[in-house]
Amino acid sequence: MIYLDNNATTPCDPRVIEAMLPHFYEQPGNAASRNHALGWLAEQAVHSARQQVADLIGVAAKEVIFTSGATESDNLAIKGVLQQYRRKGNHIVTVKTEHKAVLDACAQAERLGAEVTYLEVDEHGLIDLGELEEAIRPDTILVSVMWGNNETGVLQPMQAIGGICEKHGTLLMSDATQVVGKIPCHPEEAGVHLMAFTAHKMYGPKGVGALYIRRRQPKVSLAAQLHGGGHEQGFRSGTLNVPGIVGFGEAAAIAKKEMQEEAGRLASLRDHLEEQLFQQVAGSRRNGHVEQRLPHVSNIAFQHVESERVMMAFGQKLALSSGSACTSASVEPSHVLTAMGLATAEAHSSLRFSLGRFTKREEVDEAIAIVREGVEQIRASSPVWEMHKAGEP
Ligand SMILES: Cc1ncc(COP(=O)(O)O)c(C=O)c1O
């Protein structure tokens, strides 16, 4: 099986698994047990992991709060800010192409009385900075813009967005789930006050994430959403997932060391993938900005082919993701691609290729051949494609 679905989740790096193992059995302590050596060991392990994660994003360890994943971090940031800063205002600005963890948290904020402005993106997936500035009002308490898009890899200009938020005295939150550990990502430098990310997109385990909360200039605060033992400085109660956190720390340390070289390798593999697909498959084109994007993601539309059908054809051999999302009732076109102006049919004809640390060039070559064959097979039985070739509209 060729795995090109690394934006859905990455395999856990064997070095990460090795670091986690002692914390399942030999060192079972609860990091909050202050009365015995096993508790101290667990506390020390969490302390080191927090430092490793903080080092990766260039912040102080006390500004990193561990959660169960990016979904929880997004929810904590949005609902926590709304509750904490309600007296200042109740307006939030976000973007139509955000992940559902942000969009659904914003929808819940609306149900709680907030007003949310959803910014449009252009055909490349980028927001307009002028529109952002116009959308910010005196009662805006939060701007939430994702750093890199999970479907297209498109990177928003966070530095410029940070500058605008600073000028208007608004908090800026960013979902950087797909960016952390892949390319340098420094919230403080970009003027980001809150940043959500997760271990399982950077070769760590599933079920552990983090929220960066700026603690100086300005000192950001949040209303907790989980109440209990007052863990994580009171921001997030609940017994810490020590093995998961240790794995997250190790994954962060590995990424810090290897990320730069790895990003270069992945960008050249991705460019090879695109070049070959565009050359070998007629009617294929890229979705998203060609330069402002992550090195390992490529989203490609194959004209007059339903991507769901291609995936069904080779799902046993190749793991990819389509430009559609299955909801309980139906298959919906991707909200990201439609926000970029793609018609429903075009969104349904798109495939996301997300490469990773363990992707080899031979696998990319094999994937190109599989996709080409799949597309050709489907088109061979498609009257629409025949009409298109014959120049009919
Ligand atoms: C951009 C983005 N945000 C949030 C999430 C959710 O992360 P988690 O699975 O850790 O809750 C994902 C993962 O699908 C993502 O890609």
pLDDT band at 358 (very low <50, low <70, confident <90, very high): very high
Query: Would the CB of 224 count as within 6 Å of ligand 1?
Result: no
Residue 275's pLDDT is 98
Three-state SS for 319? strand
The Cα 178–Cα 294 span in angstroms is 8
Top mutation candidate among 150, 173, 197 for ligand 1, by most atoms within 8 Å of CB: 150
pTM of the model: 0.96
Query: Would the CB of 204 count as within 6 Å of ligand 1?
Result: no
| pLDDT over threshold 90, residue 110 | yes
Stretch 359-387: mean pLDDT: 91
The Cα 141–Cα 164 span in angstroms is 13
Residue 332's pLDDT is 86
The Cα 270–Cα 296 span in angstroms is 6
Q: What percent of the chain has pLDDT over 90?
A: 90
Ligand 1 centroid from CA 208, angstroms: 11
Residue 327's pLDDT is 56
Query: Would the CB of 274 count as within 6 Å of ligand 1?
Result: no
Q: Which residue has the tokens 């009732």?
A: 329
pLDDT, averaged across the chain: 95
Ligand 1 atom nearest 207 alpha carbon? 10
Closest-CA residue, ligand 1 atom 7, reads 70
pLDDT band at 329 (very low <50, low <70, confident <90, very high): low
Stretch 253-273: mean pLDDT: 98
Residue 388's pLDDT is 79
What are the chain's domains? 13-254 (3.40.640.10), 259-375 (3.90.1150.10)
Q: Which residue has the higher pLDDT, 98 or 325?
A: 98
Residue 324's pLDDT is 64
pLDDT digits (tens, 9 = 90+) for 16-51: 999 999 999 999 999 999 999 999 999 999 999 999
pLDDT band at 307 (very low <50, low <70, confident <90, very high): confident
Residue 384's pLDDT is 76
Stretch 313-319: mean pLDDT: 87
Tell me whether residue 106 is one of the annotated catalytic residues: no
Residue 289 carries which DSSP code?
-
The Cα 341–Cα 380 span in angstroms is 28
The Cα 150–Cα 7 span in angstroms is 6
Ligand 1 centroid from CA 209, angstroms: 9
Find the DSSP H helices in the chain: 14-20, 37-57, 70-84, 100-111, 129-135, 158-168, 187-190, 242-280, 307-314, 335-339, 344-348, 361-380, 383-389
List the 297-302 sheet strands across, edge first.
284-286, 297-302, 350-354, 321-322
Stretch 311-340: mean pLDDT: 82
Under a CB-based contact definition with an 8 Å cutoff, are residues 322 and 297 in contact? no
Residue 308's pLDDT is 86
